[in-house]
Structure 1
Amino acid sequence: MTQPQHLRHDYRHFQPITTRWHDNDLYGHVNNVVYYGFFDSAVNTYLIERGGLDIHDGQVVGFVVSSACDYFASIAFPERIEVGLRVGKLGNSSVQYELAIFKAGEDEACAAGRFVHVFVDRRSNRPVPIPEPLREALAALLVG
């Protein structure tokens, strides 16, 4: 079975990340669970910087309700990587991110993943409409 290609030009935003010594596992490559941390860091950096998300005192927070990742090639410390980010679906209170891990300067992804945020009221934990500044930032990443 052939894997679909995930190419750099298919993504709307890139977040550079430097791998760390402790990201490597016993086999000498970045452990699979670390990729989820890369995804989370890329998305939240974007939401904070471009959408005005206030992670400490804002009334709205994003909860991850679904996630997955497929791996195509390994990466290892001390490689510099870039997380490609795009939005596949934008709903009233939820968003599906599509992400890919690229070695700096390479066109083909080493891994591709997706996750869904549901935005909720911080106090009640009940879904709420995505605030307009966040919606605008997310809409700029929407594909298809």
Structure 2
Amino acid sequence: MPDSMPLRADYRHFQPIITRWHDNDVYGHVNNVTYYSFFDTAVNTYLIEEGGLDIHDGEVVGFVVSSACDYFASIAFPDRLEIGLRVGKLGNSSVQYELAVFKSGEEDACAAGRFVHVFVDRATNQPVTIPGKLREALQRLVV
């Protein structure tokens, strides 16, 4: 678990997410696996819109090689969320994202997660240097 509760001010970019009816589980809150979908959506939206990542035909793709999430407070449909995004480490072919789930307008995170992308050549699945425009977009999120 993180040493302290992540706060909104700790993040560089926010992606709005609207929970859906089927995100709730039988316990009446968003199921833990759904948080990873929120993280994927926030990161890939940023990579496509800000970094020019072509998920359909580009030569480079990102593979998730590690992930984790810590939970602090429940969320449930119909909560409106904002996923905070920052970069904790930017390497040659990999990046560690740090994310947090906030209810819209709230300062304290409901959950905090991290995952690592390794960028690879689509044809060979071999690691490649992160391309320039993508690297520039990621650099803006480095803390």
Across the two proteins, how many residue pairs are aligned to each other? 143
Unaligned runs of 5+ in 1: none
> Aligned pair in 2 of structure 1 residues 92, 26: CA closer, same or farther (>3 Å)?
same
> Aligned pair in 2 of structure 1 residues 114, 2: CA closer, same or farther (>3 Å)?
closer
The equivalent residue for 2:26 is 26
- Runs of 4+ with >2 A deviation: none
The normalised TM-score by structure 1 is 0.98
> Aligned pair in 2 of structure 1 residues 3, 73: CA closer, same or farther (>3 Å)?
farther
**How far off its partner does 1:48 sit?**
0.1
- Structure 2 CA distance for aligned equivalents of residues 2 and 76 of structure 1: 23
Whether 2:105 is the aligned partner of 1:78: answer no
> Aligned pair in 2 of structure 1 residues 98, 110: CA closer, same or farther (>3 Å)?
same
- Structure 1 CA distance for aligned equivalents of residues 88 and 62 of structure 2: 17
Letter in 2 for 1:88: G
- Structure 2 CA distance for aligned equivalents of residues 62 and 128 of structure 1: 10
The equivalent residue for 2:98 is 98
The normalised TM-score by structure 2 is 0.98
- Structure 2 CA distance for aligned equivalents of residues 130 and 2 of structure 1: 28
Unaligned runs of 5+ in 2: none
Alignment of 1:97-116 (within 5 A): 97-116=97-116
The equivalent residue for 1:14 is 14
